[in-house]
Structure 1
Amino acid sequence: MSTKTLLALIAGLSLTAPLGACASMMTSASPTAVAAGAGFERIADGVIVTPTEGEARRVRLQVYGPETIRVTAVPDASFDLPPSIMVVTGPAPTPFEVTQSGETVSVKTAETTAEVSTVTGAVRFLNAEGQEVLAERPGREIDPITVTDQRGEQSFETVRQVWESPADEAFYGLGQHQQGVMNYKGRDVELHQHNTDVGIPLVVSSRNYGVLWDNNSITRFGDPREYTMLDETLTLRDQTGRFGGLTASYYVDGQLKVQRQEREINYEFIRDQLRWPEGLKKQADQPVQVGDMGRAGQQGVRVVWEGTVEAFEGGEHKFRLYSSGYAKVWIDGKLVMDRWRQNWNPWNHDFGVEIPADRQVSIKVEWTPEDGYIALRHQNPLPAADQGALSLWSEVGHAVDYYYIGGSNMDEVISGYRTLTGKSVMLPRWAYGFWQSRQRYSTQEEVVGVVRRYRELGLPIDNVVQDWFYWPENAWGSHEFDAARYPNPTQMVADVHAMNANIIISVWPKFYPTTEHYKQLAAIGGMYTRNVEAGARDWVGPGYANSFYDPYLAAARELYWKQMSDSFAGMNFDGWWLDSVEPDMHSNLDVPERTLRMGPTAIGPGALVFNSYPLVNAENVYKHFRAENDDDRTYILTRSAWGGLQRTGSVLWSGDVVATWDDFRNQISAGINTNMSGLSNWTHDIGGFAVESRYSNPAGMTPENKAEWDELNLRWFQFGAFSPVFRSHGEFPLREVYNLAQPGTPLYTAFGDQMRLRYRLMPYIYTLAGDLYHRDDTMMRGLIMDFPGDVKVRDINDQYMFGRELMVAPVHEYRSRERSVYFPAGADWYDLYTGQKFAGGRAQTVAVPLERIPVYARAGAILPTGPAVQYTAENLGGPITLTVYAGANGSFELYDDAGTTYAYERGEFSRIPMRWDERSGVLTIGARTGSYPGMPASRTFNIRWIGGPDAAAGDFGAATTKTVQYTGAAVTVSR
């Protein structure tokens, strides 16, 4: 029996609650030939081709829909693959034809044709007009690899597929990454779950197709080669010109202590700390305790590397700086990187530099560690033919396995992805209100007191979060409250609910071995044990042994939920914060060791399923919570994701990002590409989670630092108000609005105005949320989605559409009071606050006063806004203002439902269509369709028009032009 067959049998036996769809296995097992030709056989849902050349022995094409084709290439005769973790559907009944012409076999639906060569096995895809959309490059790579873990050696394949890509193609999606990149054409992205960096293996093309790569291991988009240390690909010389390395100078309090030649810049992982010079190592290894996360340690230490690098070939050389603490890089005298990150959470910062061949180029790296980590890696230029190609490589797999998803636009491609991986189930309405959180509330009174204070101040809020460490210090994973600090958790939740707010609680997949929960899970083989066996300690108190549970084992999933359900029974929490679900077994482990510690799993080694843990964990909680809570919508906040997370009622947040302007800006493109990866319910820590020491003591901040801190938080808050989920969270200083700014000050007023605007926009925002499910829409939209014909928008990484009516341009530079905004061609635009009109197709410098960021409504937009409220469920039948932005025809469908149940899945929702006719000046509010329990029988619609500068443009409570009483029948209103 083959290893693959054995793994599939193990998966089928152990996963009594399936991780993904078994339908795909059922359709692929032992295909029966319907018609045969030279080198191919027809099966019920497609064809199997046996090419005469190449590394794939057989290539299978399966029709999953009119524009969705699955391609599977295997190195042997068997298609007996484990069930997909991401994909939850099988081939859909779709008419198709199979024909052969010479050395080409074609599978043709009404919308798509897939052609496969009987010689090379290469596949290409054509649209309904017969035009080529995507073509594989012949010579896919399927190479054997042996994976060794605690169970011994197992055989798998390393796989890669390359597709040709024209020069004018752009790529989006791939999840959430922190490089500030919008268009990934020619870029390198590693899908490797990490705190702040989240992989989703979906590529969406400007040519209106997508590729869903069905592999759960570490995956690389772009260059498949691993970045190497400098000396492996470059010639190094130190400051004296001596060959072999760079001059490394170690300073303490400004005094040089050690100077030596080093051939690599490498303090990347825990294992690499042994490289420190004698006398400095102890400082580098100082533990970080609770309450000190992100604080400066290793005081006074600075390291400088200097010398020259020489390349054998010219071109753009790519560098990857992995760092925490303060790090700067100069190449050829130019500062190319300047970053800070909290010491315990380093990550990659990529940059490219043009370096000519055979010339010594100066390099300098300056690092203030603060107990952090650093490595500088490099990669030579790819051959010209490969630099812009679409390439996906995975470390461990069974086959090349991917889905081609066609469409007439990007929305259809994302819809096709959700057809494969699951609908984006609706969150409760309150999820789109304001969230207040902190690292961390330490007592019951703090939690209740925060909501109480917001209510006293009249600042709208819907949600508060109980973060980690509510348990006794030595009892992580017990799910028990420390009675001294939380004497009555049930009353805490009731008190929050009594103030018309909601509360979720942090539950990690991490356990101390001294807890009963760990022992119960370990007894059924449901714990990863290597972390404990290795003696790893976490950062709490003296440090405690710990590890994570195995969600791939069905019995462990059941027990994990039972422990949660039993522990919080009767407390009525509204949802779950699933933290550290990468999983982060122990910060700063090297990847091979981390992979070993997150396994072996019930379905194979950790390397095989490396990226999928957050999806499997969230889906387990979602299904159980939904089953036990009648018709109440689930809410999950999770720190990582994988393809399909949208089906689990989850919100992804961007992890423990830092409070810098660079990190703030990076959240914009990170959020857009996450949305374009099919996951729209996304959020971020407003203000940044971890802070530099210059911000950590509010009472001791210099006036200059205080001014920058205030502005950073306000600008980030303004972006948050126009993000799918609006949430403030971070380390000290305290992040409540009334702690960030004193009531009565202009700064406080600016925060409050953004909150009130968010709540005014709730009818619009909730319609966007409804369209996620009903229309597979996207909330935070790359400009290319709505303006595909405007090539100037392809690389814009700091503007986006919030829905289809509003364009947002966050301000992400300190002291900026103006910024350049590009207005996409094909529409005219109105400033949301002033009514000033801008023509599309050009960039313009606009004023950005501190109290607001640029937001524009497109001409023809119909924007619904609601009354001033303190929480999302208040005055649901209240008057709605419809602001019509003149200059073009437009339409909108106002969506509503009960807001907290799954009745919408049963058809219980309403839509009110609206249409603006520019020529006649008539707004038609169409007949309402559908209904739901509690739906207002009638509505008051206040209507106003914006056609140019208007002092009241941004005041959605101002007097309006027309008012109509709407009872569900169509009405018309003339301007």
Structure 2
Amino acid sequence: MAFEVQEGGFTLNLGGRTILRHAPETPVLFIGRGDASIAMHHGHFDIEDYVIERVALRHAEIRGDKVYLSTSPASPAVLALRIDGNETDAAIAFEALDPAINRIWIRVVAEPGEHVWGGGEQLSYFDMAGRRFPLWTSEPGVGRDKSTLITWQADRRSNSGGDYYRTNYPQPTYVSSRRYALHVETTAWSAFDFRREGFHEIEVWDVPARIELWARPHFSDLVMALSDRFGKQPPLPEWVYDGAIIGLKDGENSFDRLEKYGDAGVAVSGLWCEDWAGLRETSFGRRLFWDWQYNAARYPDLPKRIAALAARGIRFLAYVNPYLCVDGSLYPEAEKAGYFAKKLESDETYLVDFGEFDCGVVDFTNPEASQWFAEHVIARNMLDLGIMGWMADFGEYLPTDIRLASGKEATLAHNEWPVLWAEVNARAVASRGKTGDAIFFMRAGYSGVQRYCPLLWAGDQSVDFSRHDGIGTVICAALSSGLVGNAFHHSDVGGYTSLFDNVRTPELLMRWAEMAAFTPVMRGHEGNRPLQNLQIDQDPEVLAHFARMTRIYVHLAPYLRMLSREAAETGLPVQRPLFLHFEDDARTYGIQTAYLYGPDLLVAPVIEADRSDWTAYLPAGAEWVHVWSGKRHAGGQDVTVPAPFGEPPVFYRADSAHADLFERIASVR
């Protein structure tokens, strides 16, 4: 790190890169005051800010080990910075000298043509250059494209249409093509604005604790540094490699349907029944009964069923979220103990409307409530029953007009909530000695979720090929989240959200299964409207195709096992952007429709309807072999290949140590 002082200004260089350049005429920092209005509707937030004041801090004065900033030489300092670091790492700590400050804007040096990636789990744009991204955990929305009919319908019906930047898992961290990474340590609402040619602007609705910076010679080194910072996941459980997790929510009939999968040759590692606690019918579709204990009417003799599956090497998975419905049996227990968050002006329990049913918010800032949920709900009601995995859903719904036991403002606790939720799940798993064996998966996240959550999933995609909410968005989600320390990612095969007569097709299910075979975990889902949507076991062709894809997944288990161990040791994700291993090929910087599966496999899933061929870019610096034909291609060019069902565009490096394994993919039947 080089910190150079000039007349009235300073420059911060890291690893030979200029990060900050402050002068009176081009200030780095702006401070101000704002008055935000935040309203939530079923996990969707309307957020507006009235900026009362924004002023530039033009004057910088160095005193001791701090930089004092003010509007002019004659004005008192209102903000102090302390900059520490070494040649490659730096931290800028912030100290507000004026308590009225609740907005800050920071300008970071940008270069023409620079690419930026990260931002947590982004679904629409992997390269964030040229756009602004608010960072606030929420429902992503339906369609997520204001120009489409489905988003218009969702907005008109329930304000749930979403937009390109909305995500369950935001994170104020980005990686630059200039080979540095930046993280803002804050839980406040923030935004990354990459629309200016000369600077990136970071906006925070609070004074952040610090900004952290890393400079490295290679992108892979940056990913490993971020993984060291946020925490690593354990390797995938051994049982996962045995096949797909079959998602069924059909009560006791789920076990009979599972046999149909097995008879069709599907390789099965688990049965996931999210309806284990019961169902309720709503206008959105079938919803779960949010009282986290097994429903004996829907699943009679469930403990025996789970044990019988385990004897066959098949794990049983369930579902849980951090809320309790008022008409369930756990609610009175938590209410009596004072475990729920309260209304602002009274000791009355705050209830959230989740769409035709109300729930209490278990207050995870209360250590006793957090421990109760981990031990009584997850450990006893799930793990002790033999459940070895679950969807740990939600986490993004914390209202901002709520009172927490810690006294922390809900606007500052909102983004942090998914991390607290992940910690509760991880604590329960650890309490039974099952870390690395039992697995839970989450869609919501924020900075630090990496150290607790062993597996992400991409959330509730629409059951279609749409640009901003369909099958292709899960590639973008895996790549962006992987860069900031999340090694394992997967999605619902076939998508989830079916609204306004938008239903699954056999084509979509088969294309999704093809992609899922080349991800860390294959898992199905019946969706929010199971009766209106095609299920895998309802179409013989779809079922046979799915069975073969699961066998390909199992065939690749030795390679995936190696990648899993590598992820636990280094933090490198299983699904990687092409530039992570081909950083000298600038063409790879903007690609978000293909990924490297480890260093040696290139996967370019078919993510458009009615296609029988597909074009993929093969990075320069390697010779590539098409898995299905065996044909070799030089890197540095676009290649169009046939893509019939069952032959997704996949290529491997000709010089790979795993070439024999990859060559045999085509022979898997």
**Does TM, scored on the shorter chain, surpass 0.5?**
yes
Unaligned runs of 5+ in 2: 1-60, 141-166, 282-287
> CA shift at 1:622, angstroms?
0.5
In structure 1, what is the Cα distance between the partners aligned to 2:110 and 2:453? 35
In structure 2, what is the Cα distance between the partners aligned to 1:581 and 1:436? 23
Which residue does the alignment assign to 1:787? 582
Which residue does the alignment assign to 1:496? 309
Pairing 1:172–2:143 present:
no
Pairing 1:484–2:297 present:
yes
The 1:469–1:623 alpha-carbon spacing in structure 2 relative to 1, beyond 3 Å, is closer
Partner SS for 1:72: strand
- After superposition, the C-alpha distances for 1:495-546 in whole angstroms (9 at most, x for unaligned) are 221221111211111113455533443445431244987775444xxx4331
| Contact 1:165–1:390, Cα closer than 8 Å, also in 2 | yes
| Contact 1:62–1:69, Cα closer than 8 Å, also in 2 | yes
> CA shift at 1:449, angstroms?
2.4
> CA shift at 1:812, angstroms?
1.2
Q: Which one has more relative contact order, counting CA pairs under 8 Å at least 6 apart?
A: 2
Which of the pair is proportionally richer in helix?
2
Q: Which amino acid aligns with 1:431?
A: V
The 1:834–1:551 alpha-carbon spacing in structure 2 relative to 1, beyond 3 Å, is same
Which residue does the alignment assign to 2:225? 416
The 1:570–1:799 alpha-carbon spacing in structure 2 relative to 1, beyond 3 Å, is closer
- After superposition, the C-alpha distances for 1:442-473 in whole angstroms (9 at most, x for unaligned) are 42x23322433322332101012121462476
In structure 2, what is the Cα distance between the partners aligned to 1:569 and 1:825? 48
> CA shift at 1:601, angstroms?
5.2
Q: Which shows bigger deviation, 833-842 or 509-518?
A: 509-518
In structure 1, what is the Cα distance between the partners aligned to 2:298 and 2:118? 43
Which residue does the alignment assign to 2:627? 832
Which residue does the alignment assign to 1:714? 510
Which residue does the alignment assign to 1:428? 237
> CA shift at 1:607, angstroms?
0.5
The 1:845–1:471 alpha-carbon spacing in structure 2 relative to 1, beyond 3 Å, is closer
| Contact 1:690–1:730, Cα closer than 8 Å, also in 2 | no
In structure 1, what is the Cα distance between the partners aligned to 2:121 and 2:453? 18
In structure 2, what is the Cα distance between the partners aligned to 1:427 and 1:839? 34
- After superposition, the C-alpha distances for 1:69-110 in whole angstroms (9 at most, x for unaligned) are 22112112xxxxxxxxxxxxxxxxxxxxxxxxxxxxxxxxxx
> CA shift at 1:569, angstroms?
6.3
In structure 2, what is the Cα distance between the partners aligned to 1:400 and 1:631? 32
In structure 1, what is the Cα distance between the partners aligned to 2:383 and 2:501? 43
In structure 2, what is the Cα distance between the partners aligned to 1:812 and 1:526? 45
Pairing 1:189–2:189 present:
no
| Residue in structure 2 matching 1:39, options 32, 52, 62 | 62
Partner SS for 1:664: coil
- After superposition, the C-alpha distances for 1:664-716 in whole angstroms (9 at most, x for unaligned) are 122221221111121121111111102255465xxxxxxxxxxx811111111
Which residue does the alignment assign to 1:236? none
The 1:387–1:610 alpha-carbon spacing in structure 2 relative to 1, beyond 3 Å, is farther
| Contact 2:70–2:78, Cα closer than 8 Å, also in 1 | no
Partner SS for 2:233: coil
Which residue does the alignment assign to 1:234? none
Which residue does the alignment assign to 2:3? none
| Contact 1:680–1:724, Cα closer than 8 Å, also in 2 | no
In structure 1, what is the Cα distance between the partners aligned to 2:94 and 2:500? 53
Alignment of 1:165-564 (within 5 A): 165-179=110-124, 181-196=125-140, 197=167, 198-222=169-193, 386-387=196-197, 389-395=199-205, 397-399=206-208, 401-438=210-247, 441-443=249-251, 445-468=252-275, 470-471=277-278, 476-513=289-326, 515=328, 517-530=330-343, 537-539=353-355, 543-564=356-377
> CA shift at 1:433, angstroms?
4.7
Pairing 1:738–2:537 present:
yes
> CA shift at 1:48, angstroms?
3.6
In structure 2, what is the Cα distance between the partners aligned to 1:809 and 1:472? 38
The 1:595–1:437 alpha-carbon spacing in structure 2 relative to 1, beyond 3 Å, is farther
| Residue in structure 2 matching 1:59, options 66, 81, 101 | 81
> CA shift at 1:847, angstroms?
1.9
> CA shift at 1:430, angstroms?
2.5
- After superposition, the C-alpha distances for 1:126-161 in whole angstroms (9 at most, x for unaligned) are xxxxxxxxxxxxxxxx9946xxxxxxxxxxx22322
In structure 2, what is the Cα distance between the partners aligned to 1:424 and 1:66? 28
- After superposition, the C-alpha distances for 1:868-887 in whole angstroms (9 at most, x for unaligned) are xxxxxxxxxxxxx556xxxx
In structure 1, what is the Cα distance between the partners aligned to 2:526 and 2:543? 18
In structure 2, what is the Cα distance between the partners aligned to 1:817 and 1:607? 49
The 1:668–1:546 alpha-carbon spacing in structure 2 relative to 1, beyond 3 Å, is same
Which residue does the alignment assign to 1:74? 95
In structure 2, what is the Cα distance between the partners aligned to 1:471 and 1:815? 38
Alignment of 1:651-690 (within 5 A): 651-662=455-466, 663-690=470-497
When normalised by structure 2's length, the TM-score is: 0.78
> CA shift at 1:831, angstroms?
0.2
| Contact 1:212–1:417, Cα closer than 8 Å, also in 2 | no
Equivalent residue pairs, number: 562
In structure 1, what is the Cα distance between the partners aligned to 2:352 and 2:371? 27
In structure 2, what is the Cα distance between the partners aligned to 1:399 and 1:953? 50
| Contact 2:483–2:573, Cα closer than 8 Å, also in 1 | yes
Which residue does the alignment assign to 1:761? 556
The 1:393–1:447 alpha-carbon spacing in structure 2 relative to 1, beyond 3 Å, is same
Q: Which amino acid aligns with 1:573?
A: I
Which residue does the alignment assign to 1:578? 392
Which residue does the alignment assign to 1:886? none
The 1:535–1:841 alpha-carbon spacing in structure 2 relative to 1, beyond 3 Å, is closer
In structure 2, what is the Cα distance between the partners aligned to 1:500 and 1:469? 20
The 1:67–1:520 alpha-carbon spacing in structure 2 relative to 1, beyond 3 Å, is farther
In structure 2, what is the Cα distance between the partners aligned to 1:195 and 1:461? 31
| Contact 1:56–1:73, Cα closer than 8 Å, also in 2 | no
In structure 2, what is the Cα distance between the partners aligned to 1:786 and 1:659? 32
What is the percentage of aligned positions where both structures have the same residue?
20
> CA shift at 1:432, angstroms?
4.5
